[in-house]
Structure 1
């Protein structure tokens, strides 16, 4: 199993079929295959050798689709960077992964030289935008034009395919190492469910392409030879226009995106009849949003996915036929490639209906965390991934997620670990203690809320703290609301009782 397998099949079976649509630019699979082989040669010319890491910092585009094939074609390793990160987080991920080449588009080119100066392993910058190539960077298009196609090395199986960074409990993201087998097992398992994609699909990249959820859809579409449609970033009206213009059949979105799209005042003015399937996940979706979606698109087949980066990422699916009363709060049942069980703190399975930790086994389970053997050993036990999520399974095999055992907040489909926000808050002069929790939000699923204890002589506002945090962490991690307390509730061991804070907030709300 290898990431470029789908492209090879498409080159043989449908070379003249449209592979990508990016604005007014379309490319066939024959054109895509030629460009990928030439880009791989260009990367080799920049010094990329077996196992080197090639990162990309870019908005969605057809070039992003090519990146996902050209890097393994050149025997290298993927590292798609979260575009919402602060420079500090980007630099950390590039250094932690020893990235040697970074691709940047027009939106991020201005910050590339500053990033490169702080990354010892970074040897080359490649401009992959439509504007003029900045000084000191190689041109993506020139690399393709100047190099002859090379043969695909077919990096595959348990070889490392990519490093995908997820929120870190210590204040820095963790690099999840996923193999070709991990990624394709997850993608093909999801496709095998029959809930998303077929050979005739036109798949819209509305979610950010650096995100593993979109990559799962990307790989599934590539393996089936589907047409990819890309928009730079999510914007409700653009999504509606693109679905209508290109007759999009399949899309993946987080609940926040769905809510903003179906509630757009002009949503009913567009012909959305081509859209047959929508997969969602990443955070809690309200029943109200589901009902409004079904009202706008009664023909639409909805599927919920539950998983995590460490699972490449799919573990369970709630299919269209299960979107009925009584199951709307379920995460669905195990996909064909996984086993799911609920365990007690000692790792022993518990009876159906009993709340415990959700654990997953399958060929999609990650290789481990990069440079973090202790953290890897803590969650990988006998091949089972201990997710840190609390839940139970009913007698029909449906999984219900009831709480997160880790202090993770999911806001707009993005994971935020309270520890990294608390670390940022602690660096502000006058902050004695802080505790960060997620609070319910109709629009975002959850938002980040902070409780802060100030030093006796300190005099700063919530706005001061928010501006401070924006310099250290991504904007979506910055607390949207802050309350100041004289002290935080703690237990006998001095541990902050976040459950008490959640109760306090709920009572106040």
Structure 2
């Protein structure tokens, strides 16, 4: 299989169907295929050779979609940059990957001088925005217009499809190498469950397209020949308008986006009835938020996906039926392409119901980390990829994620998993968002500390929070201290950056755990 295969199939079967909708621009499958072939020819003209890395730093758009297809069409390798990173972090990923060509839009064009200075290997920049083309760059549209179409290289199979850098929350980010086969196996396995996507769907790209969560949706939609609707970035009102205007049927959202949508004061003013499927993941979702979302989108089947970049990215899915059956605390069961075990620190599988580290095996497991064989060997020591997530399998094979292994709080000799505490806290009517971390404590080693964001006009006290939490989980798991914040730091994938929250409590420790 190869990444461009779905485009060829769609052109053969319904060339005049709508493939992309982005603002006022609407393009058919045949038009996109011609543009992609010409864009690939333009990349060849810029000196792109087989296996060269071509990066993009841009908001969501139809041109981002064309980049994802044109790069493998030209026999090159994708490198989508994290739009939330600083120029220094982005420059690191470009230098580390040896990127030679960079696509950049209007939002990130101001970074170009700094990136050019920091990345001497960068020999060409393609401007994919709508504004004036920056100096020493070539315009996306001009490159297409000036280039002849080239045949698809059909780069595929075990060949490298892309380097996808991890969040970089600790030390330097790692470049995850995914092959075309990795991505195809993950997409086909998810499609094979029947839980996600369907022919004729209209898929909304509201989550950032650089991230594997949205890319999974993009790839599944590409395989089925559906329509892609793009908005530049997630905004609750823009998302609701796009759903209403274009009769969107599916989307991939992270939990913080779902919460912002269902709690928005204008949600009742938009017709969201076209939505038939919402896949969520990237971080846990609180049960009360999910229950509110199911009321806002009553016709939608909700599917939870568990996985990670290193798994291309899907390992388990929780079906719509499982949501209705009350399994909301589970991450679902292994998809057809994925085998899962839960291991102890020695790598031995533990009994059902016992918490250990989740390990995954299958054709979706990454090729490895770019230029990092030691970390690759440590992560995949025996064919089983160690996820770093703590969890357990129940008697029916449902996976329950309790926390990151490294983030487990040990207080008074008891293990506390922050996700469980966060789920209890989220049920409090005053709390809009929360994060639980372990902080140093003279008596307990670590204590459970909650960082809370309250709804406007509401307040909470520590005593109130402890009483509320202890009514739902064990007393020793209740927060001993709380902190009220205006917002929580988020990664580009919508994950809460707990390392940032810990810094003020662990100023002299890199480990941040006892």
Cα distance in 1, alignment partners of residues 507 and 119 from structure 2: 41
- Partner residue in 2 for 1:86: 86
Question: Given that residues 283 and 495 in structure 2 are in contact (C-alpha distance below 8 angstroms), is that contact kept between their aligned partners in structure 1?
Answer: no
Alignment of 1:247 onto 2:247: yes
Give CA deviations for 1:210-233 in whole Å, capped at 9, x if unaligned. 000100000000010000000000
Once the two structures are superposed, the pairs formed by residues 22-61 of structure 1 within 5 Å of their partners are: 22-61=22-61
Cα distance in 2, alignment partners of residues 69 and 61 from structure 1: 13
- Partner residue in 2 for 1:186: 186
Once the two structures are superposed, the pairs formed by residues 11-26 of structure 1 within 5 Å of their partners are: 11-26=11-26
Cα distance in 2, alignment partners of residues 18 and 486 from structure 1: 53
Moved more, 160-169 or 87-96: 160-169
Question: How far off is 1:324 after superposition?
Answer: 3.9
Question: Given that residues 251 and 279 in structure 2 are in contact (C-alpha distance below 8 angstroms), is that contact kept between their aligned partners in structure 1?
Answer: yes
Question: How far off is 1:382 after superposition?
Answer: 2.5
Alignment of 1:367 onto 2:367: yes
Question: How far off is 1:408 after superposition?
Answer: 9.7
Cα distance in 1, alignment partners of residues 498 and 330 from structure 2: 29
Structure 2 length-normalised TM: 0.82
Give CA deviations for 1:377-416 in whole Å, capped at 9, x if unaligned. 001123211111111111111000112113499xxxxxxx
Question: Given that residues 169 and 497 in structure 2 are in contact (C-alpha distance below 8 angstroms), is that contact kept between their aligned partners in structure 1?
Answer: no
Give CA deviations for 1:443-496 in whole Å, capped at 9, x if unaligned. 5563889889xxxxxxxxxxxxxxxx99xxx997597757866998x9xxx975
- Partner residue in 2 for 1:446: 435
- Is the partner of 2:273 in helix, strand or coil? coil
Question: Given that residues 449 and 480 in structure 1 are in contact (C-alpha distance below 8 angstroms), is that contact kept between their aligned partners in structure 2?
Answer: no
Question: How far off is 1:346 after superposition?
Answer: 1.8
- Partner residue in 2 for 1:426: none
Question: Given that residues 338 and 360 in structure 2 are in contact (C-alpha distance below 8 angstroms), is that contact kept between their aligned partners in structure 1?
Answer: yes
Cα distance in 1, alignment partners of residues 354 and 325 from structure 2: 21
Cα distance in 1, alignment partners of residues 268 and 290 from structure 2: 16
Aligned pair in 2 of structure 1 residues 347, 480: CA closer, same or farther (>3 Å)?
closer
Cα distance in 2, alignment partners of residues 63 and 156 from structure 1: 22
Alignment of 1:381 onto 2:370: no
- Partner residue in 1 for 2:229: 229
- Partner residue in 2 for 1:75: 75
Cα distance in 2, alignment partners of residues 10 and 487 from structure 1: 55
Cα distance in 2, alignment partners of residues 282 and 92 from structure 1: 24
- Partner residue in 1 for 2:473: none
Once the two structures are superposed, the pairs formed by residues 330-409 of structure 1 within 5 Å of their partners are: 330-407=330-407
Aligned pair in 2 of structure 1 residues 449, 260: CA closer, same or farther (>3 Å)?
farther
Cα distance in 2, alignment partners of residues 132 and 484 from structure 1: 43
- Partner residue in 2 for 1:128: 128
Question: Given that residues 84 and 475 in structure 1 are in contact (C-alpha distance below 8 angstroms), is that contact kept between their aligned partners in structure 2?
Answer: no
- Is the partner of 2:56 in helix, strand or coil? strand
Structure 1 length-normalised TM: 0.83
Question: Given that residues 37 and 70 in structure 2 are in contact (C-alpha distance below 8 angstroms), is that contact kept between their aligned partners in structure 1?
Answer: yes
Cα distance in 1, alignment partners of residues 31 and 20 from structure 2: 10
Alignment of 1:143 onto 2:143: yes
Aligned pair in 2 of structure 1 residues 447, 93: CA closer, same or farther (>3 Å)?
farther
Question: How far off is 1:296 after superposition?
Answer: 1.6
Once the two structures are superposed, the pairs formed by residues 160-239 of structure 1 within 5 Å of their partners are: 160-168=160-168, 170-239=170-239
Cα distance in 2, alignment partners of residues 447 and 31 from structure 1: 49
Question: Given that residues 506 and 512 in structure 2 are in contact (C-alpha distance below 8 angstroms), is that contact kept between their aligned partners in structure 1?
Answer: no
- Partner residue in 1 for 2:484: none
- Partner residue in 2 for 1:460: none
**Runs (5+) with no aligned partner, structure 1:** 410-436, 453-468, 499-509
Question: Given that residues 20 and 62 in structure 1 are in contact (C-alpha distance below 8 angstroms), is that contact kept between their aligned partners in structure 2?
Answer: yes
Cα distance in 1, alignment partners of residues 251 and 511 from structure 2: 43
Question: How far off is 1:326 after superposition?
Answer: 4.8
Alignment of 1:271 onto 2:260: no
- Is the partner of 2:288 in helix, strand or coil? helix
- Is the partner of 1:381 in helix, strand or coil? coil
Moved more, 259-268 or 68-77: 259-268
- Is the partner of 1:107 in helix, strand or coil? coil
Question: Given that residues 14 and 29 in structure 1 are in contact (C-alpha distance below 8 angstroms), is that contact kept between their aligned partners in structure 2?
Answer: yes
Question: How far off is 1:113 after superposition?
Answer: 2.3
Question: Given that residues 206 and 252 in structure 2 are in contact (C-alpha distance below 8 angstroms), is that contact kept between their aligned partners in structure 1?
Answer: yes
- Is the partner of 1:197 in helix, strand or coil? coil
Cα distance in 1, alignment partners of residues 398 and 495 from structure 2: 35
Report how many aligned residue pairs link the two structures: 449
- Is the partner of 1:223 in helix, strand or coil? helix
- Is the partner of 2:366 in helix, strand or coil? coil
- Is the partner of 1:228 in helix, strand or coil? strand
Question: How far off is 1:89 after superposition?
Answer: 0.5
Question: How far off is 1:120 after superposition?
Answer: 2.1
Cα distance in 1, alignment partners of residues 439 and 110 from structure 2: 32
Runs of 4+, deviation exceeding 4 Å: 437-445, 447-452, 474-488
**Runs (5+) with no aligned partner, structure 2:** 410-417, 427-431, 442-488
Aligned pair in 2 of structure 1 residues 445, 40: CA closer, same or farther (>3 Å)?
farther
Cα distance in 1, alignment partners of residues 506 and 8 from structure 2: 63
Alignment of 1:107 onto 2:97: no
Question: Given that residues 283 and 445 in structure 1 are in contact (C-alpha distance below 8 angstroms), is that contact kept between their aligned partners in structure 2?
Answer: no
Cα distance in 2, alignment partners of residues 281 and 119 from structure 1: 33
- Is the partner of 1:340 in helix, strand or coil? strand
